[in-house]
Chain A
Amino acid sequence: MNQTISASGIATTPPNLQTGAVRFFGGTVEFPTYVLTYAVPADGVVMWQPSHALSLCLVRSPSGTGKSTWVASLDDWLRGIRRRSEKLSFVAQGGADSSRNAVALIPQNPPIVKHWRVRDLVPEPCAYLTALLTPDVLTKRVGELSGGQIRRLYTASSLAKLAESPAEQCFLLLDETFDGLGVDEAADRLKRIADVWKGKPLFVLLVTHLDADQLSASSAASSRLEMSIQRPGDRAGTVLVRNW
């Protein structure tokens, strides 16, 4: 990463934006029932590098600070469904051309279609399924899996779809998908994804409550930027965004 990290861990020099990045600005976002204030110490940049096969970014903050809404907005924006990025308190460079992007989002509470056959959700063979689950799940129905297994199955399915897409760059947005596994297992699954992913650049953004320092410990390079998201009269918290 060509990015300077301050002693506090906050990114002070933005990365080379030519490579593609989402830059977050401080501001107020009005939602139908509440207002969120995003306070970014220095303009925050979540970045991806087309030269990297895989970029990981970690987003962390207390519950109720709008992470899921923020990630869903990012999903819409990357797909080109929403064009007014200023409303979402971020702008992007490199990722603005939605026709070049393939995007997948696993929501925090995804719908569980229990009668689906697992084998209908992945191609055969599927390296991502093997990386995230045991192969015996292929013969099962979704309803026979645990909640955590279902989220990982959805992740494997999304990775398979991203890999098959003709897009130039892929984005996988995971909303607390691995939180039930604990730090070590979550880090292990992320490493397995990195091991099996081949080809075009993949940018993984993981929203989590897990310990960011522990999660990133296994990563060679990391950078950090912090944003605080305040919901007046409700909660105030800090969103930690970590690239590595």
Chain B
Amino acid sequence: MTRTRRNVRDMVIAATILGASAALHRMLDHYKILDLTPISIFELTASDGKALALTFGAAVVAWICGIALGYLAGMAISTITVERLHLGEVVRWAKTFNFLFDAVYIVPLVVTLSLAGGFALYIDTHAWWLPRWVTGLGLVICSGFVLGGYQIYAAVYYATVQSRRETRALMRSLYLRPRGLGARLGRFGHRLRLVKSYRDAEIRSFAEAMKRALHLSIVAVMILEVVRPGIYESFFPSTGAQLGWTNGAGYGVQIAQSNFLFVRMSGVLWSVLFFDLFAVRLLEELMDHRWLQFDKARQ
């Protein structure tokens, strides 16, 4: 089954679940358990919808910034360490960065975000000239970088340092035409191209890392919303009345759980699942178009 057909199938399944739930809900209203099916999405309020939209938007921003930073870090550290660059001190710094990033990834995200949130609060308090949305955006990017960005970083770094012997021998031997920025960076550009070729040799792992990063960005943003309630107030400051939706869907789930509002909680979670399904399928299509269609093609 081709990917496109599989994606269509998944969408049909999702729509069927939703439709069947709606039908069952109408026919068997007294079975309250059915309220927890995807039909619960229709029980959500406009405020929940705004909170979800903010969460999804933040997840996309976290993912884009996370993979960009993770990719840059992976390329930079791999370029320094590849081919035993004779840069002594720089290589040691690069390896230290790798050690630290590995360590930060192991630390629970809640702890990392709490520390980053405390730092953001300090900046908000002392750097009066800085717009408030900067620290909010910084926290969103931080959450994306630590979880999703690490996936990309690790995919690039370990494709380089743990490459097969045949891969190393071949990539060192080939004429790799430098393109874009690399073409203007001379020897460093050539090393960048070399690292990119190691990534290309493990393109399926890299594609999987992109997908994992997307899943994790949604998770990271929802955790951030729980750790830092009102995170979106830095983007939408309210005067007086507190706007519930500026807490985001993650915080909404926590509040719903505390108040035994299981239908609402279920509606938010189903919405997140459908968004994740849709976003991942879209990403798979993009990666198929760019890389994987050739990898899957028969010779």
Closest residue of B by beta carbon distance from A107: B166
Across the interface, do B169 and A72 meet the contact criterion of CB distance under 8 Å? yes
Q: In the complex, identify which listed stretch (A10-18, A84-92, A115-123) lies at the interface while the others stay far away.
A: A115-123
* Chain A residues closer than 8 Å to B169, beta-carbon distance: 72, 75, 105, 107
Of all chain B residues, the one with the shortest Cβ separation from A150 is: B299
> CB of B173 within 8 A of chain A?
yes
Stretch at the interface among A36-44, A156-164, A204-212, A235-243: A156-164
Known: A107-B166, A109-B166. A161 touches B174 (CB 8 A): yes
CB distance from A125 to the nearest CB of B (A): 13
- Digit string of A135-146 for contact with B (CB within 8 Å is 1, else 0)? 000000111111
How long is the Cα–Cα vector from A79 to B168 in the complex, in angstroms?
A: 12
Within 8 Å by CB of A122, from B170, B172, B175, B203, lies B175
Contact with A along B230-266 (1 / 0, CB 8 A): 0000000000000000000000000000000000000
| Chain A residue total in the interface (Cβ 8 A) | 35
Docked-complex contact B175 and A115, CB < 8 angstroms? no
Given contacts A143-B294, A145-B299, contact A161 B170 (CB under 8 A): no
Q: A106 interface residue, CB < 8 Å from B? A: yes
**B294 surroundings in chain A (CB, below 8 A):** 114-115, 141-144
Q: A110-B166, A111-B166 are in contact. Are A143 and B297 (CB under 8 A)?
A: yes
Cβ of A107 and Cβ of B170 under 8 Å apart?
A: yes
Given contacts A107-B166, A110-B166, contact A115 B173 (CB under 8 A): no
Instruction: Tell me the smallest distance from the CB of A126 to a CB of chain B, in Å.
Output: 8
Say yes or no: A113 contacts B200, CB within 8 Å: yes
Q: How far is the CB of A168 from chain B (nearest CB, A)?
A: 18
Among candidates A81, A111, A143, residue contacting B170 with C-beta atoms closer than 8 Å = A111
Q: Does A111 contact B173, Cβ atoms closer than 8 Å?
A: no
Query: In angstroms, how far is the closest chain A Cβ from the Cβ of B171?
Result: 8
Residue in B165, B167, B173 with the greatest tally of chain A CB atoms within 10 Å: B173
A21 at the interface (CB under 8 A from B): no
On whether the beta carbons of B291 and A120 are closer than 8 Å, the reply is no
Write out the residue numbers on chain A whose beta carbons fall within 8 Å of the beta carbon of B297.
Answer: 114, 143-144
Task: Say which residue of B164, B165, B177, B201 sits within 8 Å of A113 (CB atoms).
Answer: B201
Flag whether A132 is at the interface (Cβ < 8 A): no
User: A120 with B176: in contact, given A115-B203, A145-B299, A154-B170 (CB under 8 Å)?
Assistant: yes
B126, CB-defined interface residue at 8 Å = no
A146 to B169, CA, bound (A): 21
Interface string of B192-220 (1 = CB under 8 A from A): 00000100110100000000000000000
Shortest beta-carbon contacts, A-B, top 5: A104-B173, A143-B294, A161-B175, A107-B166, A114-B294
User: What are 10 contact pairs spanning A and B, CB under 8 A?
Assistant: A103-B172, A105-B169, A106-B170, A107-B169, A111-B164, A111-B166, A115-B292, A120-B176, A143-B294, A161-B175
- 11 further interface pairs, Cβ-Cβ under 8 Å (given A109-B166, A111-B167, A123-B175): A75-B169, A81-B84, A103-B173, A104-B173, A105-B169, A105-B172, A105-B173, A107-B169, A113-B200, A115-B294, A161-B173
Binding site for A on B (CB under 8 A): 84, 164-167, 169-170, 172-177, 179, 197, 200-201, 203, 290-292, 294-295, 297, 299
